C-alpha cells in the first residue's frame, strides 16, 4: 500500500517535471519567435528608411539641377533647404527606429504564456 502511494507521488513528480520542461520549451519558442519578428521588423524599417533616403536624394538632385539652370543663388538656397530637410528626416527616422526597437524589445522581453 505504501509502495503504491509512493509510486503515485513519484509519478506526480515526473508529471510536474515534464510539465516544467514543456513550459520552458514553450517560453523559449515564444522568445525565438519574438526575436525573429524583431529582426524582420528592423530589416523592413531599414529598407523603408533607405528607400526614403534614396527618394529624398533623388528629389534633392533634381532640385539642384533645376536651380543650377536658374541661378547659383537659388541652387545654394535649395541645397541648404534640402540638406536641412534631409537632416530633419534622418533625425526623425532615427527616432522612429529607436522607438520601434524599444517597442519590439519590450515585446521580446515580455513573454505571455
Q: Show the 3-state SS of 9-69.
A: HHHHHHHHHHHHHHHHHHHHHHHHHHHHHHHHHHHHHHHHHHHHHHHHHHHHHHHHHHHHH
Residue recorded with cell 527616422:
93
How many percent of the chain have pLDDT more than 70? 89
CA distance 104 to 25: 21
* pLDDT for residue 1 is more than 60: no
Q: Is the pLDDT of residue 68 over 80?
A: no
pLDDT band at 107 (very low <50, low <70, confident <90, very high): confident
Q: Which residue has the higher pLDDT, 22 or 5?
A: 22
The whole-number pLDDT of residue 70 equals 65
Domain count, the chain: 1
pLDDT above 80 for 16: yes
pTM of structure: 0.43
Q: Give the range of the structural domain holding residue 19, as residue numbers without chain letter.
A: 2-109
Mean pLDDT of 69-91: 83
CA distance 45 to 54: 14
More confident residue, 72 or 59: 59
Amino acid at each position: 500500500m505504501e509502495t503504491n502511494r509512493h509510486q503515485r507521488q513519484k509519478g506526480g513528480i515526473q508529471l510536474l517535471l515534464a510539465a516544467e520542461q514543456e513550459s520552458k520549451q514553450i517560453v523559449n519558442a515564444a522568445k525565438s519567435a519574438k526575436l525573429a519578428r524583431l529582426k524582420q521588423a528592423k530589416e523592413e524599417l531599414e529598407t523603408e528608411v533607405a528607400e526614403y533616403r534614396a527618394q529624398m536624394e533623388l528629389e534633392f538632385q533634381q532640385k539642384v539641377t533645376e536651380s543650377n539652370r536658374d541661378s547659383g543663388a537659388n541652387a545654394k538656397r535649395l541645397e541648404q533647404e534640402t540638406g536641412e530637410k534631409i537632416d530633419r528626416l534622418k533625425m526623425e527616422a532615427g527616432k522612429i527606429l529607436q522607438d520601434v526597437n524599444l517597442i519590439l524589445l519590450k515585446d521580446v522581453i515580455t513573454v505571455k504564456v
